[in-house]
Structure 1
Amino acid sequence: MTIDLPAPAFRIHDLISMHLPRLADHPIFIEEARTWTYGEFQATLTALAAFLREAGLQPGDRLMIVGENSVAQTAAIMAASTLDAWAVIVNARLSPSEIAAIQDHCDPRLMFFTHAVSDDAREHGTARGATGHHIAGIDFSCTLARAEAIAEPVCADSREQVAALIYTTGTTGNPKAVMLTHSNLGFTSATSRASRNTGENDVIYAALPMSHVYGLTTVVLSALWGGATLHLVARFDARHLLRALADGLTFFMGVPAMYLRLLALHEAGETVVAPRLRFVHCGGAPLDAALKNRVEAMFNLPINNGYGMTEASPTITVVPYNQRCDDMTVGYAIPGMETRVVDEQRRIVPQGEVGELQIRGPNVMKGYYKAPEQTAAVLSPDGWLSTNDLVRQAPDGAFYVMGRLKDLIIRSGFNVYPSEVEAALNAHPSVVQSCVVGRPVDSDEQVIAYVEVDPQVKFDAAALSAFVAERLAPYKRPQMIVPVERLPAAQSGKILKKAVQEMAARL
């Protein structure tokens, strides 16, 4: 599989116009009771772009879009592209202080709120004096233009012009603003489309938030490349997904937490009917073997695993389309991207040994906004991005993620990879998911495991410890297993490792 780079003049809104007039009457979005066509949506984003231009949005400005998955949110992203403004895509479910921090940092000219589909967005908009509007079928609210906002330089080349500013979830620290160019998003979404042969007959469930690059690129933009139909969902609901599967979904892409909710219904007696489903994908957070096996049994399809990060927009590796894997590989590097695995001195390690993954290619971010020192710390002058993830590579080129470099636990001089311990814990029937962290004690580190317990299964800490002891070397076994009702998680479903580390520090 080879992927051509987007043209120098490419913009992400081209993903709509490229299909016109041929697909003018073809469905592009299903949102609640309404179906939108490609032609209707093109008219909507054109009208919205004209409104935003009249409201004061200029090329190089930031348009801060506070919302949840909807036609209005997608139209705002594409309208910003039309005007060469940056779309700052923010989840409305963030707290007022988090929204304020992002607003202060990105200095938007205008703020856009999807109040019709999100009460949280409405509250954020009301707090900022936003007024409501109805334009070409969409409802939203918008602030007045801020005269003091400063526009960034505009670049004709798609490799330099920023399309989206995505704030990382901050699972291991403070969020950073990742600048992703039109070429970044175009290349990665084209790769996703080609890897699963997305086409006009596909109906794709879009519950992953577009404020997360997985939802934006791998789900929405890749579907638009293929002329597919997106079933937009503001908030994930497992029963809604069951109905959509029965109605003819062909793709479902989710994070582990979404699959766990669907499995809970299925294992409680709900029948999963999915007559057209052909592709199931998991990303955004680590997938463990126990969950993988349960999902594959439910759908009678392989679940395609993958690995990425916001700074890679996001895709780095993928398992080939519908290839069954007996292990937990995250697949092979996408075409057009270089990889290397290095040690602490940045020397390439022998194949099969664990080291930090570094990548270089057209998917790598432009940098962190207003943070040149942070950018320089991870992005070398010759384009190599340090992922801070520990991996090993098999002789056939397949990658296995061992964990975050900073999450590595050193116990009595031995390296303990949290992912290995979590896999052993998650294989027990009483454990929904787990998070393993290190706790410094007397010049050493203890292995501390927090486990989210299945309420339907009686929890026995001693039995779980014995279960893990059969599967792990003594130095890898947790010194403490702490049951919790729910692990702290980001809106995307990713476990907040930093919050768990803080919990362990208080033990």
Structure 2
Amino acid sequence: MPSEIDVDEFPSVVSVLENAISHYNQRPAFANMGKTLTYGEIDTLSRQFAAYLLDELKLKKGDRVAIMLPNCLQYPIATFGVLRAGLTVVNTNPMYTARELKHQLVDSGASVILVLDNFGDTVQEVVADTPVKQVITTGLGDMLGFPKGAIVNFVLKHVKKMVPDYSIPKAIRFRDTLELGRKHTLPEISISPQDIAFLQYTGGTTGVAKGAMLTHRNLVANMQQAAAWVGINVRLGEEVIITALPLYHIFALTANGLVFMKFGGLNHLITNPRDMRGFVKELKQVKFTAITGVNTLFNGLLNTPGFDEVDFSGLHLTLGGGMAVQRSVAERWKKVTGTTLVEAYGLTETSPAACINPMDLKDYNGSIGLPIPSTDACVKDEEGRILATGEVGELCIKGPQVMKGYWQRPDETAKVIDADGWLHTGDMAKMDDEGYFYIVDRKKDMILVSGFNVYPNEVEDVIALMPGVLEVAAVGVPDDKSGEVVKVVIVKKDPALTEEQVKAHAREHLTGYKHPRIVEFRKELPKTNVGKILRRELREESPGA
């Protein structure tokens, strides 16, 4: 394993794509719902979308384009189109509520949003109060060809009732943007390594989502680091990776979208991994070589009938991240698939990979692994001193994958990146004599639900809007399925306030994984002598869900 990687081999994410196109033009690149696009087709279609953005919409270098899509063929076409145009992708969770979406669009200053029809009503609700000048809409079946695409769109809207009615004046269909783009030739766009490729939104201790500025250099560096680490057994041009985690999540974006593009691999996109039976049915039809996921995904698959009948003969890489991998899940995965579930660790702010366990690991070891090439890791105390092996402190990371900073928030950036360039992760960890790192606890109050960050302040702010609530505190409690779930502890102002009213209010204002699963009412909340609510005390009192 090299201790350093060549960060300068590719000046941008676009050059990685163009390298893959030149080497693997006729090879399959992305597959979804029975339709496959080659690298050559991704080349053509992403060029068309880029030309539309530049020549029809007259966007200028650095402008932001929001993409609000699940895993479908439109995602890579649009993402690579935005990047080829010298613009910045703002990845947007399709499950956002109107409140969450409005914040992200206003904060990022996005001038365009591409949205799946299923979520068009959310965009309709807020678009007038944002800087967005053009809305692009698309149906899940739009890139699947005729007649399949038309059938998929019809069933989703009229049979499954998954596409609500919405009306956005002057919105344009995604397929029409490609047609318009065909009329133009994409000019040569100069993209520098320091240009921002993605504004990847992540919560903060304040509960306000912040955009991590991930440059082309950050993403290329992390792709090179992860590719060096996982590429030992890779067969170029032959890998098939199951992409069930959403590509708008930094883990899948880099690990699947970029690393396997460098390998000339095929990303097999799973649009709705929550439909576990459908997911297993799809896995039975694909001879795959790699899969990434979070603990809940692996656990869900293992508990779905028929999973043990899947053909695992080609599988040589299973990478788990986003949340802690549980020993029981890892051991069962090895037993069923014959492949070790290798745990990795990263953050949105590190593009994301920072530590990964060795690929030849025989069994689960409870560690997050070793720092990847060109990455330094250490454990620091409250005063910033580096601690000795075995001592617990805050895990800090330094390397070319560390973000440029938070978008338009230098004060927040200064809180997490110190004067020496160390990123303070907020995770409490220790290192053993062999250099392996172990997460002990989280310094922050952040709650981790199935690999997604939930910030207590945001949940508390929403619940506090209820007239019947006097005080509220949100904490994470252990859960076998999702790692943690959100629990809210409330002091009532209105004695008639019920648990169901609280949950209904949360459903209206928060994405699903942020919903409180447990609601507890108390006479008072534990506080410090200055009146700050002691969340840690509430956590320690909670035996678990």
> Smaller-chain TM-score range?
0.7 to 0.9
Name the CA shift for 1:8/1:326 in 2 (closer, same or farther; >3 Å). closer
Partner of 2:202: 168
Question: Deviation digits for residues 35-72 of structure 1, max 9, x if unmatched?
Answer: 11111110000011001112122101111111112221
> What is the CA distance between 1:495 and its match in structure 2?
10
Partner of 1:157: 192
Verify the 8 A CA contact 1:255 1:284 in the aligned structure 2.
yes
Name the CA shift for 1:56/1:401 in 2 (closer, same or farther; >3 Å). same
SS of 1:164's equivalent?
strand
The one-letter code matched in structure 1 to 2:192 is D
Name the CA shift for 1:192/1:8 in 2 (closer, same or farther; >3 Å). closer
Q: CA RMSD in A?
A: 3.8
- Structure 1 distance, partners of 2:123, 2:100, is 14
Partner of 2:111: 109
Partner of 2:31: 30
- Structure 2 distance, partners of 1:498, 1:190, is 42
Name the CA shift for 1:272/1:34 in 2 (closer, same or farther; >3 Å). closer
> What is the CA distance between 1:328 and its match in structure 2?
0.2
2:407 maps to which of 369, 385, 393 = 369
The one-letter code matched in structure 2 to 1:130 is V
SS of 2:114's equivalent?
strand
Q: Give the fraction of aligned pairs with identical amino acids, expressed as a percent.
A: 26
Structure 2 unaligned blocks of 5 or more: 128-133, 145-172, 178-188, 457-474, 483-506, 521-534
Question: Deviation digits for residues 308-348 of structure 1, max 9, x if unmatched?
Answer: 11111111100111412352011100110112211111111
Name the CA shift for 1:172/1:210 in 2 (closer, same or farther; >3 Å). farther
> What is the CA distance between 1:133 and its match in structure 2?
7.2
Residue 315 in 1 paired to residue 353 in 2? yes
Verify the 8 A CA contact 2:87 2:197 in the aligned structure 1.
yes
- Give 1:399-414 correspondences, 5 Å limit: 399-407=437-445
2:85 maps to which of 83, 86, 95 = 83
- Structure 2 distance, partners of 1:241, 1:111, is 29
Question: Deviation digits for residues 386-422 of structure 1, max 9, x if unmatched?
Answer: 11111111111111111211359xxxxxxxxx99xx9
Name the CA shift for 1:369/1:16 in 2 (closer, same or farther; >3 Å). same
Verify the 8 A CA contact 1:64 1:111 in the aligned structure 2.
yes
Partner of 1:256: 295
- Structure 2 distance, partners of 1:166, 1:496, is 25
The one-letter code matched in structure 1 to 2:63 is D
> What is the CA distance between 1:257 and its match in structure 2?
1.3
Name the CA shift for 1:142/1:10 in 2 (closer, same or farther; >3 Å). farther
Partner of 2:467: none
Partner of 1:185: 219
Partner of 1:265: 304
Partner of 1:413: none
The one-letter code matched in structure 1 to 2:30 is F
Partner of 2:325: 287
Verify the 8 A CA contact 1:132 1:142 in the aligned structure 2.
no
Residue 10 in 1 paired to residue 11 in 2? yes
- Structure 1 distance, partners of 2:517, 2:350, is 20
Question: Deviation digits for residues 347-367 of structure 1, max 9, x if unmatched?
Answer: 111111111111111010000
- Structure 1 distance, partners of 2:402, 2:251, is 14
Name the CA shift for 1:13/1:137 in 2 (closer, same or farther; >3 Å). farther
- Structure 2 distance, partners of 1:496, 1:188, is 34
Residue 378 in 1 paired to residue 416 in 2? yes
- Which of 165-174 and 24-33 deviates more? 165-174
Partner of 1:94: 96
Q: TM-score when scaled to structure 1?
A: 0.75
The one-letter code matched in structure 2 to 1:205 is I
Name the CA shift for 1:180/1:347 in 2 (closer, same or farther; >3 Å). same
Name the CA shift for 1:450/1:279 in 2 (closer, same or farther; >3 Å). closer
- Give 1:42-61 correspondences, 5 Å limit: 42-53=43-54, 54-61=56-63
2:259 maps to which of 217, 222, 226 = 222
Name the CA shift for 1:96/1:334 in 2 (closer, same or farther; >3 Å). same
- Structure 1 distance, partners of 2:309, 2:116, is 34
Partner of 2:371: 333
- Structure 1 distance, partners of 2:101, 2:207, is 17
Question: Deviation digits for residues 6-29 of structure 1, max 9, x if unmatched?
Answer: 338722122221133432111001
Question: Deviation digits for residues 399-453 of structure 1, max 9, x if unmatched?
Answer: 1111211359xxxxxxxxx99xx9xxxxxxxxxxxx9x9xxxxxxxxx9955458
> What is the CA distance between 1:124 and its match in structure 2?
3.6
- Structure 1 distance, partners of 2:224, 2:388, is 32
The one-letter code matched in structure 1 to 2:290 is F
Structure 1 unaligned blocks of 5 or more: 144-153, 409-417, 423-434, 438-446, 455-487
Verify the 8 A CA contact 2:426 2:443 in the aligned structure 1.
yes
> What is the CA distance between 1:32 and its match in structure 2?
0.9
- Structure 1 distance, partners of 2:13, 2:281, is 31
- Give 1:396-435 correspondences, 5 Å limit: 396-407=434-445
- Structure 2 distance, partners of 1:347, 1:499, is 40
